[in-house]
Amino acid sequence: MAFAQTSASSLSASRILVTGGAGFIGSHLCDRLIEDGQEVLCVDNYYTGRRQNIAHLAGQPGFETLRHDVTLPLYVEIDQIYNLACPASPVHYQFDPVQTLKTSVHGAINMLGLAKRTGARIFQASTSEVYGDPTVHPQPETYWGNVNPLGTRACYDEGKRAAETLFFDYRRQHRVAIKVARIFNTYGPRMHPNDGRVVSNFIVQALQNEPITIYGDGSQTRSFCYVTDLVDAIVRLMATPDDITGPINLGNPAEFTIRQLAEMVIALTGSRSKLEFRQLPPDDPRQRRPDIALARSLLGWQPKVALADGLIETIGYFRECLGVPKIRVAV
């Protein structure tokens, strides 16, 4: 399978491969690329990605889909690769930790090999989890992290760290044009209702008036970036000159405690839910906030969507998914 041949690649008419393209972030990236007039091949094995995330793109000029697992080689002709394939929530990546690690490592090797053969520019969706439970706050790209390599989260944390190593070694050894972004907590429509992430958990529980489960005392912090802001940053990074490789932090530096998030979700949904505290899981980071000075200076980017505004959009999506009627809420 291959895209139609063109005489030369350009940012205005590129043949673009998006792995994990039916996932939460991947589907929004496909939207953006199609809107920009690109030819997009969306590749997904549908382990966590969902067909309904990209159903609206069916029949769009320049959009194709292919069911494929990135742990296996892929032979297509492309100009750019966005490598987003990997389960990203603890519920999903801990279900089959060996496969998670294979997806990060073997997937990176296969996509980098494809980039090497075709001369494509390649983007790697890395993660703030490479910082582990950080001892530096906020986290700059120069921080090497504090990761437990033997814990239950290591299949994802260390898999992404190994993928970053592979990307930079392919650049040094084979001159592959790479872009690496460390993505912090992202939320928005098309999140999986059962992915176990804090935003989707709280919204689903609130809409059903169930107890809001907070692990620990709720004082741990996170920074939440709305998905369209993130996609804009990813596209900007891919368009930078080859000497800008990253890693670059992409996320919203506004920091909230988990308890603050829970209370905001309850208020915005008009829920009758109460807070319920449970034991904190092992290696759960106590604080997480990106230093985005590099993104500001190199990409001219910073998030625009405030948390409350993004939550309203996300709540609307989950209301539709769950069939919960809309109620009037004072904001």
Tens digits of per-residue pLDDT, 190-249? 998 888 889 999 999 999 999 999 999 999 999 999 999 999 999 999 999 999 999 999
- What does the DSSP 8-state code read for residue 221? E
Q: Which residues of 288-303 are buried (b: 16+ CB within 10 A; e: fewer)?
A: bbbbbebbeeebebeb
Six-digit token string for 70: 């990135």
275 has pLDDT over 70: yes
Which of 47, 93, 156, 187 is the catalytic position? 156
Six-digit token string for 20: 């994990």
Ordered by start, the domain boundaries in the chain are: 15-186+226-250, 198-222+253-322
Helix-helix angle 227-238:24-35, to 10 degrees: 60
Distinct helix (H) and strand (E) counts, the chain: 9, 13
Surface-to-core class of residue 99, CB atoms within 10 Å of its CB (0-12 exposed, 13-18 middle, 19+ buried): middle
Write down the CATH number for the domain with range 15-186+226-250. 3.40.50.720
Please report which confidence band the pLDDT of residue 4 belongs to, taking 50, 70 and 90 as the band edges. very low
Q: Three-class SS of residue 245?
A: coil
pLDDT in tens, 54-83: 999 999 999 999 999 999 999 999 999 999
Distance CA 161, CA 146 (A): 12
Q: Is 215 a catalytic residue?
A: no
**In degrees rounded to 5, what are phi and psi of residue 145?**
95, 170
pLDDT in tens, 184-203: 999 999 998 888 889 999 99
Distance CA 30, CA 41 (A): 9
Surface-to-core class of residue 321, CB atoms within 10 Å of its CB (0-12 exposed, 13-18 middle, 19+ buried): middle
Write down the CATH number for the domain with range 198-222+253-322. 3.90.25.10
Please report which confidence band the pLDDT of residue 1 belongs to, taking 50, 70 and 90 as the band edges. very low
Distance CA 48, CA 284 (A): 22
